[in-house]
Structure 1
Amino acid sequence: MAEIDGTNGNGNHGGVVLDIKDNYPSSSSIKEVSVLNFYVPFMQKLVAEIAGTYFLIFAGCSSVAVNLNFDKVVTLPGISITWGLAVMVLVYSVGHISGAHFNPAVTLAFATCKRFPWKQVPAYVACQVIGATLAAGTIRLLFQGDQDHFTGTMPAGSNLQSFVVEFIITFYLMFIISGVATDNRAIGELAGLAVGSTVLLNVMFAGPISGASMNPARSLGPAIVSHQYKGLWIYIVSPILGAQAGAWVYNLIRYTDKPLREITKSASFLNGKESS
């Protein structure tokens, strides 16, 4: 405690002398508490990213493996739905903990738009790659011998075709993420549904062309486990560029954080036109 001493002395005529006792926390203990308050939540975020990426890749790539091994029983629509549902449920389950990136391209795009701290980017990316690699390794242990099929992504046609397709679908994905997750005028409760549906749509039409990765970790994990690196650079470079473009284009059209009612001066666009 700090006690107030009203006696004169040591040149403090009628002044106040603060006598600091030892029961105040020391500067070292305060520093330890502040460090702990930073590292514990951050470690929770990293664990969420590893677990989320693991379950996402495990579910999506398992649907591919089952489809290859059991007479196309899952089908392309089934694979698309699996990826979309996996993204949706994971966004709702750990989105409030880590942001539910599960994707190095998304993390980098948020960082360049100053919506994510750069100092956390390396750890996030590392955790995403670790989660994807562990998931791919689990799938390879489950499907051995004749059932061991490559569940990664490779161009079905030319490299240029897959590069352009990956750029477009990742642009589309990041554009949607920016709208529902970073704009306070959006309906935040529907973020998981919107992002999951976007992934479903992209896999549906782009899957037969490029594999519809949209995620460097999704392609890198199976490639590391199976040692198949054909065209891997496409799935690293193109999604990163596409995500950057999608985030920045949305930022260009965002232009304000004001609510819709204040922008239109009315409850709806229709009423706004009538009043004008």
Structure 2
Amino acid sequence: MSSKDHGSDLEESRSTKGQSPRRRHEDADFCSSTAVVVLTQKVFAETVGTYFLIFVGCGAFLVDKKYGSITFPGMAAAWGLVIVVMAYAVGHISGGHFNPAVTIAFAVFRQFPLTQVPSYIAAQMLGSILASGTLCLLYDVDQELFFGTLPSVSYGRALVLEIIITFLLMFVISGVATDNRSSGDFAGLAIGLTILINVLTTGQVCGASMNPARSLGPAIVMHNYKAIWIYIVGPVMGAILGAFAYNLIRYTDKPLNEITKSSSLLRSFTGN
């Protein structure tokens, strides 16, 4: 044993000397508990999913700006398709939120554990920042190629548009991904198509963020925070209102045993 190893062992023994065997056992159990392992898997899945959401969506924007080969409808398709792909790839692990507004709305209506909200939002932000940094390095991005979200109309109109399109997104998510009566096998496709529609109709007007992480990641990396509040307040408000609206029509008089059981993908969007 080297002196370095001996020193580390001595330091470890000192750090645990004051702990009872029961305390050390509890700490070991906590680190290896099923709950901690599962949450770690979920957080990693959210990070990876959000990373590729931003990498593909914003990457399509950069490729079109540099080479003119994608066009605006192509960029909208990229946003919708990457959501479909990642929802089916990791939706059964983390629920496939990739969006702090969606996570918050689920938590508000008790469809997602409140204790997991900070971890999910941190993972989503990390994925967005890492993807934005990757794009800046690979495409040599300057402020003229800013791939965040900026409105081309007044701030008030942009805010209203963000609320409306995020309302629609969350309404669809609530319908296809949390209601046992829906066909959960097509949840990812329906959500991806909703994002495609929203980007096509409002992307050139308000930016069609629908996702605070989507806007904050590029803003942080490129130090451009113009109108950023719109893309935090709008999506969160829209998501909460969309979830509330669907919850008004969710309930049925049928007993639970008569409601068609859904697939694991449907249930996974709530994180349960």
Q: Per-residue deviation at 1:256? A: 2.3
- What is the match of residue 23 of structure 1? none
CA gap of 1:65–1:189, structure 2 versus 1, over 3 A, is same
Other structure's SS at 1:127 match: helix
Which of 195, 205, 215 aligns to 1:219? It is 215
Q: Per-residue deviation at 1:261? A: 11
- 1:64 and 2:66 are equivalent in the alignment: no
- What is the match of residue 44 of structure 1? 41
Which of 104, 111, 115 aligns to 2:111? It is 115
CA distance in 2, matches of 1:227, 1:117: 33
- What is the match of residue 76 of structure 1? 72
- 1:204 and 2:200 are equivalent in the alignment: yes
The answer to whether the Cα contact below 8 Å between 1:185 and 1:260 also exists between their aligned partners in 2 is no
Which of 136, 161, 170 aligns to 2:157? It is 161
Please give the TM-score of this superposition, normalised by the length of structure 1: 0.81
Post-superposition Cα deviations, 1:36-67, rounded to whole Å, max 9, x if no partner, equal: 11111110000000000000100000001111
CA distance in 2, matches of 1:109, 1:165: 18
- 1:96 and 2:92 are equivalent in the alignment: yes
- 1:237 and 2:233 are equivalent in the alignment: yes
Aligned-residue RMSD, C-alpha = 2.1
User: Rg: which structure is higher?
Assistant: 1
CA distance in 2, matches of 1:148, 1:116: 39
The answer to whether the Cα contact below 8 Å between 1:140 and 1:148 also exists between their aligned partners in 2 is no
The code of the aligned residue for 1:199 comes to I
The answer to whether the Cα contact below 8 Å between 2:172 and 2:190 also exists between their aligned partners in 1 is yes
CA gap of 1:147–1:74, structure 2 versus 1, over 3 A, is farther
- Tell me how many residue pairs correspond in the alignment: 237
Runs of 4+, deviation exceeding 3 Å: 26-35, 145-148, 257-263
- What is the match of residue 131 of structure 2? 135
- 1:253 and 2:234 are equivalent in the alignment: no
CA distance in 2, matches of 1:119, 1:74: 41
CA distance in 2, matches of 1:161, 1:94: 35
- What is the match of residue 9 of structure 1? none
CA distance in 2, matches of 1:104, 1:204: 22
Which of 143, 147, 151 aligns to 1:151? It is 147
Other structure's SS at 2:153 match: coil
The code of the aligned residue for 2:167 comes to F
Q: Per-residue deviation at 1:33? A: 3.9
Post-superposition Cα deviations, 1:90-118, rounded to whole Å, max 9, x if no partner, equal: 00010010000000000000000101011
Q: Which has the higher helix share?
A: 2
The code of the aligned residue for 1:156 comes to S
Unaligned runs of 5+ in 1: 1-25, 264-276
Q: Per-residue deviation at 1:149? A: 1.0
Q: Per-residue deviation at 1:259? A: 7.7
Q: Which has the higher relative contact order, 1 or 2, with Cα contacts under 8 A spaced 6 or more apart?
A: 2
The answer to whether the Cα contact below 8 Å between 1:185 and 1:259 also exists between their aligned partners in 2 is no
CA distance in 2, matches of 1:209, 1:119: 36
Unaligned runs of 5+ in 2: 1-21, 260-272
Q: Per-residue deviation at 1:127? A: 0.8
The answer to whether the Cα contact below 8 Å between 2:143 and 2:222 also exists between their aligned partners in 1 is no
Q: Per-residue deviation at 1:255? A: 1.6
Q: Per-residue deviation at 1:258? A: 3.4
